Amino acid sequence: MESCCYCGYFGSTNSRFMPKSSNRFLRYGLLFCCAVGLLLVRALETRLFYDPLHDYFKSDYLTASLPEFDTVRLTVGMALRFVVNSGSSLLMIRLLFPKQKITWLLLLYVALFLLLIASFVLVLRFWPENRFAIFYVRRFLIQPLFLLLFVPALYYQQSVRLKKS
């Protein structure tokens, strides 16, 4: 992706559409918007997404029975939240590391999403008594954990490359 015609940033820092100082301002502004977006998703999660398991896991879920829920609505809600978190996370990673190719990261996100959403549905359908599996698969789907994993890894990779050159 060489450059994006409407904002000019996403290809390189030497974009022909905007001066370098504007790119930096746009970059930090978009980073801020993504971070605020992730915080808003977390703050408004009960209003934005159907998730009867939210209150269930906040209570004494080890002794309580699983609440009634619509599996399709729950799966769609988890998928939507994963897409929002992943989109913000990928954009933040792209803005933090503009010179690195992150196509492999996008493919990893898609593969991980398919694996996790399938396992979530399977666990809900066939092993509803396995609360820990439901809890952890759900946690991976609704939290931007991979942002926390990939930013330090890419930063380390970038610093190693800079030391070599």
DSSP the chain: ----TTTS-SS-SS-SSS-HHHHHHHHHHHHHHHHHHHHHHHHTHHHHS--THHHHHHS-TTTSPPPP--HHHHHHHHHHHHHHHHHHHHHHHHHH-TTS--HHHHHHHHHHHHHHHHHHHHHHHH-TT-HHHHHHHHHHHHS-HHHHHHHHHHHHHHHHHHHH-
The number of domains in the chain is 1
| pTM for this predicted structure | 0.74
Identify the domain containing residue 118 by its residue range.
43-164
pLDDT class for 7, splitting at 50, 70, 90?
A: very low
Q: Does 59 map to a domain?
A: yes
Is it the case that residue 104 has pLDDT exceeding 90? no
* Span 114-124, average pLDDT: 87
Whether the per-residue pLDDT at 163 is higher than 80: the answer is: yes
In-domain check, residue 19: no
Query: Does position 65 have pLDDT exceeding 90, yes or no?
Result: no
Residue 26 lies in a domain: no
Q: Is residue 38 part of a domain?
A: no
Structure confidence by residue, pLDDT tens digits, 15-61: 444 456 678 899 999 999 999 999 999 999 989 999 888 888 888 88
Residue 140's pLDDT band, with cuts at 50, 70 and 90, is confident
Question: Which has more pLDDT, 18 or 161?
Answer: 161
92 occurs within a structural domain: yes
